[in-house]
Amino acid sequence: MPQETPGRTTRVKAFIVLGLCLALLGGVGAWLLLGRETSEPCNGLAGDERVQKSVGAAVRPGMSCTALAEAIVGASAGDASGRHTQAQAQALKDVLIALGSGNPAELNLDPALRVPLASALADYAPDLHAMLGGIGITDFLAKAAPQAPPWQSEDTYHLTVLADTLRGVVRAVAQDPKAYALLRMAETRTTAQRLSAVPADATDFSLSVPPTESARALGILDGIADAVTHGKDKGQARAWRTAVLDTLLDGQTSPHSDQDAQAAHLTTAWFQNLRKASEGERFDRLRAQGVDMARTWSQDRKMDEQTQQGLLAKVERSALTAYREIKP
C-alpha cells in the first residue's frame, strides 16, 4: 500500500473540514427555513377556517396581527348592557379553541394579540369568573367541549371553553402586564357584583359559595402571575409586577359606573386599601384580594365574629388551593 505524503494528508483533512462546515451551514439554513415556516404569523389564526367563518370575511391569510385583533374584538363584543349574541360568543370561542389546539401551557401569543384578547375576554367577565372560579358551573362544564355551541340564559349567550384552554390563553395573554391588569380588573368588578348580590338572609352554601368562588378565581389569576414571572430575572419580574399595579391604580381600568352601589363600594374600598399599601407590599396585597374583599363585605353585612372568621378561613383555603394549581 503506497504511503501517504504529508501534503496529501493535509489536503484530505482540509476536504473533511470543508465538508463538515458545509453540512453545518446547510443544517443551520434548514433550521432557519423550517423554523420560520412552522411559526405561523398571528399564531395561525388568520388562516384558520373556523376562525375565518365565525369572525368574518375580514380575516384572511397575510393580514396584520393588529388588524386581526381588531376583527376579533369587533366580532365578539357585546352591547352596552353586556349581552352577547350566539355569533359573538361563538367568534371568541373559536379563537380560543384555535389557540388551545396545541399544548395550551406552551402557548406563546403574538404580542399584538395580547391586550386585544384580554379586552375581548373581559367583555365576558361573568363567564370568565365562572370558568376560573369553578364552583357550581354545571352548565359551563357541559358546554365547554369545542363542538358545543354557546348556550343562552338571562337574555345572553355564554362563552365556555375547556379549563386548560382558558388557562393557557390567559397565561399567554398575561405576558403583557396591561393585559393581565385588564383581566384582574374585570374579575375585581365581577367579584364585587357577586358579593353584593348575596341576599341578606343567606346562610350555608348560599352565603359561602360567592366569596369562595371569587377567591378561587382570583387565586387562579395569582398563580398565573407567578407562572408569567417564573424564569425571569428579579428586575424583569419586578418590572412586570410594577406595570400591573400601575395600570390598575392609574385609572385606565377604573370601575365602570354600571355597578350597583354596594358593588361599587366594595370595588372602591379594595383599591383604596391597595393604594394605601407601601409600594413594596402592594403585590402581596394583590394576592390577598379574595380574603380582603370578603372581609370588607362581611363587615358591611355586620356578620357576627364566629360566622365571619369561619367564612374567611374557607375563602383563604379556596384562594390558596387555586393558586397552587397554577403556580410553577
Radius of gyration of the chain (CA): 25
Helix, strand, or coil here: 125?
helix
At residue 36 the predicted structure's pLDDT band, cuts being 50, 70 and 90, is very low
Distance CA 89, CA 83 (A): 10
Residues 6 or more apart whose Cβ sits within 8 Å of residue 20: none
Is the backbone of residue 132 left (phi > 0), alpha (psi -120 to 50) or beta?
alpha
- For every residue of 158-176, DSSP letters joined together read E----HHHHHHHHHHHTTS
Residues 6 or more apart whose Cβ sits within 8 Å of residue 41: 62, 65, 110
State the helix-helix crossing angle for 163-173 and 177-196, rounded to 10 degrees.
130
Residues 6 or more apart whose Cβ sits within 8 Å of residue 56: 71, 75, 91
pLDDT at 104: 86
pLDDT at 188: 96
Distance CA 325, CA 307 (A): 28
Q: Is pLDDT of 19 > 80?
A: no
At residue 259 the predicted structure's pLDDT band, cuts being 50, 70 and 90, is confident
- For every residue of 237-261, DSSP letters joined together read HHHHHHHHHHHHHSSTTPPPTTS-H
pTM reported for the whole predicted model: 0.86
Distance CA 144, CA 165 (A): 10
Residues 6 or more apart whose Cβ sits within 8 Å of residue 273: 285, 292
Distance CA 319, CA 180 (A): 18
Of residues 32 and 193, more confidently modeled: 193
Q: Is pLDDT of 96 > 50?
A: yes
Nearest to 187 by CA among 149, 150, 147, 225: 225
pLDDT at 25: 43
* Pick from 11-20, 56-65, 105-114, 129-138: least confident: 11-20
Q: How far is CA 230 from CA 47, 67, 113, in A?
A: 32, 31, 22
pLDDT at 228: 96
The share of the chain scoring above pLDDT 70, in percent, equals: 85
The x, y and z cell numbers of residue 285, run together, are 396585597
The share of the chain scoring above pLDDT 90, in percent, equals: 76
Q: Quick one: DSSP state of residue 43?
A: G
When the pLDDT of each residue in the chain is averaged and rounded to a whole number, the result is: 87
Read off the pLDDT of each residue in 287-306 and give the average, rounded to a whole number: 96
Q: Is pLDDT of 41 > 80?
A: yes
pLDDT at 140: 73
At residue 161 the predicted structure's pLDDT band, cuts being 50, 70 and 90, is very high
Distance CA 268, CA 265 (A): 5
Length of the chain, in residues: 328
Amino acid at 22: L
Q: How far is CA 235 from CA 130, 226, 232, 249, 286, in A?
A: 34, 14, 8, 21, 19
Q: Is pLDDT of 301 > 90?
A: yes
Read off the pLDDT of each residue in 44-73 and give the average, rounded to a whole number: 95
